[in-house]
Amino acid sequence: MGISRRALLASGLGLGWGLVQHQKALALAGEPFPVFESDAQQIPYKYRRRSVDYKTSEPPGTLIVDTEARFLYHVLGNGEATRYGVSVGKAGRSWYGEAEIKRKEKWPVWVPTPEHLAEFPDMAKFIHGMPGGRDNPMGARALYLYQGEVDTVIRIHGTLKPSMIGKKVTAGCIGLLNIDVIHLYERVELGTKVVILSPA
């Protein structure tokens, strides 16, 4: 007995609905907007968060960003680190050096920079800030980098698109999956040292 087109379509819709429900089941509890653990399945395996061996002279707690490899390392000490895949600044938009985290925000407001406005004039409507939310390019969390009292305008923050991870595509900031930036946010304190390495 053959399967009718209508039955096949209904079956497909049922599978689609099941997938949506499964993703919802994997959403983090307690967040005002959906954050899916399944986002990690959308990026290449090498960029998924993991514990790694990592030798450095930097003290435990330091964040080190390897812009060439597109990894962020949270130094744990004893030759170990948690490694996250990241997106970094596109050509001519990267920033290198040492800074410290002087501000942390959940679901931060995004304000376009002059560079954003020059490239995307329609963003002028957000000149006073886009509220945090699912469409905000800062994602679920942001860590603000300062040198002394000077805001570098560089952030470590969530990203709307998992497809950006592992690429040089940002306006200079360091982007992580929302699930990963939440993980990192909970493990760093104000005053944390951040080292963004320049290409060799």
The amino acid present at 134, given as its one-letter code, is R
Give, in degrees to the nearest 5, the angle at Cα 88 between 49 and 118: 145
Q: For residue range 71-96, what is the model confidence (pLDDT) as tens digits?
A: 999 999 999 999 999 999 987 788 99
Residue 123 is predicted with a pLDDT of 86
- Where is 184: in which H helix or E strand? helix 178-185
Main-chain dihedrals φ then ψ at residue 184, nearest 5 degrees = -70, -45
Q: Higher-confidence residue: 158 or 14?
A: 158
Share of the chain above pLDDT 90, in %: 68
* All residues at 6 or more sequence positions from 122 whose CB lies less than 8 Å from its CB, including other chains: none
CB 136 within 8 A of CB 150: no
CB 81 within 8 A of CB 73: yes
**Secondary structure of the chain: what % helix, strand, coil (to 5)?**
25, 30, 40
Q: CA–CA separation, 82 vs 108, rounded Å?
A: 24
The mean pLDDT value of the chain amounts to 88
Q: CA–CA separation, 94 vs 55, rounded Å?
A: 24
For the chain, list the domains and their CATH numbers. Answer: 33-197 (2.40.440.10)
Q: For residue range 2-55, what is the model confidence (pLDDT) as tens digits?
A: 555 455 444 454 444 444 444 444 578 889 999 999 999 999 999 999 999 999
Q: Higher-confidence residue: 117 or 100?
A: 100
Residue 112 is predicted with a pLDDT of 86
pLDDT interval class at 115 (50, 70, 90)? confident
Share of the chain above pLDDT 70, in %: 87
The DSSP code for 38 is G
Say whether pLDDT at 126 is over 70: yes
Residue 19 is predicted with a pLDDT of 45
